[in-house]
C-alpha cells in the first residue's frame, strides 16, 4: 500500500507562516533583551532588527498569498 501524505499549497503556506511568526516573536524577545543590557552592540541590535523586518515582509507576502484578491 502506497499512502502519500500530501499537503495542499494552502496548508504548506500556513505552516510556513506559523514558523515565521514564531521566529519573528523570538527575534522580538532577543531585541528586547539586548536593548535592556547597557553594554549592547548597536551593530548586533541593528542586525537583529533588520532580520525581524525581513521576516515581517515574508509574513506579509505569505498572508497576501492566502488572501484572495477581491475586485470591487
d(CA 47, CA 41): 10
Residue 51: CB partners within 8 Å, gap ≥ 6?
A: 27
Average pLDDT, the chain: 88
The model carries a pTM of 0.78
The 10s digit of each residue's pLDDT in 6-39 is 889 899 999 999 999 999 999 999 999 988 887 7
How many CB atoms neighbour CB 43 within 10 A? 8
Confidence of residue 55 (pLDDT cuts 50, 70, 90): very high
Percentage of residues of the chain with pLDDT beyond 90: 64
How much is the pLDDT for 39? 78
Long-range contacts of 47-54 (CB under 8 A, 24+ apart): 51/27, 52/24, 52/27, 52/28
Amino acid at each position: 500500500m502506497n499512502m502519500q501524505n500530501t499537503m495542499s499549497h494552502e496548508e504548506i503556506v500556513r505552516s510556513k507562516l506559523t514558523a515565521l511568526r514564531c521566529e519573528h516573536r523570538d527575534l522580538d524577545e532577543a531585541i528586547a533583551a539586548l536593548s535592556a543590557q547597557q553594554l549592547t552592540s548597536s551593530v548586533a541590535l541593528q542586525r537583529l532588527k533588520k532580520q525581524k523586518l525581513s521576516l515581517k515582509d515574508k509574513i506579509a507576502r505569505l498572508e497576501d498569498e492566502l488572501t484572495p484578491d477581491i475586485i470591487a
